[in-house]
Structure 1
Amino acid sequence: MQTLVSYVRSGQPDLTNRQMALLLLVYLTPGPHTVRGLAHLLGVSKPVITRALNTLGTLGYLRRVRDEADRRNVFVAKTNIGQEFLERFEHNIEQQEGAGERPSRERSMLFQHG
């Protein structure tokens, strides 16, 4: 919970779960990545991926690159800005783990009653 609170307070753009999943998928799995392939992997439609890519592209986290061998194909590529965003996010997680984030009384109660 503290990691997410720190993320929200950081001033970085709030990404939806779908956008974050798409970003992580592109950065953590071997490419090349296409809209069709990403839609298949996430189990969503191509328009859903396109909308998420539009947002992530506007933020500079991902970019579309036309395949020079077959101009009909478009690949989704990493960017330096996206890499930096994920590195900051990872650092935030590591800070919370290093701070010994332990279950709070409220969280313990939530899991007991949930």
Structure 2
Amino acid sequence: MGPLVEYVRSGHPDLTNRQMALLMLVYLTPGPHTVRGLAKGLSVSKPVVTRALNRLGALGYLRRQRDEMDRRNIFVAKTDEGADFLDAFGRLIAGKQQRTRAAA
């Protein structure tokens, strides 16, 4: 059984490829992150990032944070829930890799 099947069965919310890419981009690259910068990094439009961010924000995986130096700017910030989700997802993938090596 592949890691994606295990993920579906895990009970975690289903994320689209764009949502997962956005989540991983924020967690795996240095910030600060803006919608404009994330859209450029993913080669998609700002509305695409905004929709994905709305979903990830509702799940508690990312949050918007106003820049205290320039209140017009909004940063996309990590959350503990998002870090926990990615950690669990990484363990699913790592577990599958270990089982595959052991069976070989």
TM-score (norm. length: structure 2): 0.95
User: Alignment length, in residue pairs?
Assistant: 102
Give the corresponding residue for 2:35: 35
- Report deviation, 1:11: 0.6
CA RMSD of aligned residues (A): 1.3
Q: CA deviation at 1:72?
A: 0.4
CA distance in 1, matches of 2:45, 2:73: 17
Asked if 1:15 is matched to 2:18, the reply is no
CA offsets 1:2-27 (integer angstroms, 9 cap, x no match): 10000000010000000000000000
Partner in structure 1 of residue 24 of structure 2: 24
The match for 1:67 is 67
Distance 1:11 1:91 in 2: 15
- Residue segments in structure 2 that go unaligned for 5+ positions in a row: none
Larger radius of gyration: 1
Q: Which amino acid in 1 is paired with 2:41?
A: L
Alignment-mate amino acid for residue 56 of structure 1 = L
Residue identity opposite 2:31 in structure 1: G
One-letter code of the match for 2:46? K
Q: For 1:1-114, what aligned pairs fall within 5 Å after superposition? A: 2-100=2-100
Q: Which amino acid aligns with 1:49?
A: V
Q: How far apart, in 2, do the equivalents of 1:79 and 1:16 lie?
A: 19
Structure 1 residues 33-82: Cα deviation after superposition (integer angstroms, max 9, x where no partner): 00000001111111110000000000000000000000000000000000
State the identity %: 69
CA distance in structure 2 between the partners assigned to 1:54 and 1:100 by the alignment = 36
Structure 1 residue runs without a partner (length 5+): 102-114
Query: C-alpha separation between the residues in 2 aligned to 1:82 and 1:43?
Result: 23
Give the CA deviation at 1:100.
1.0
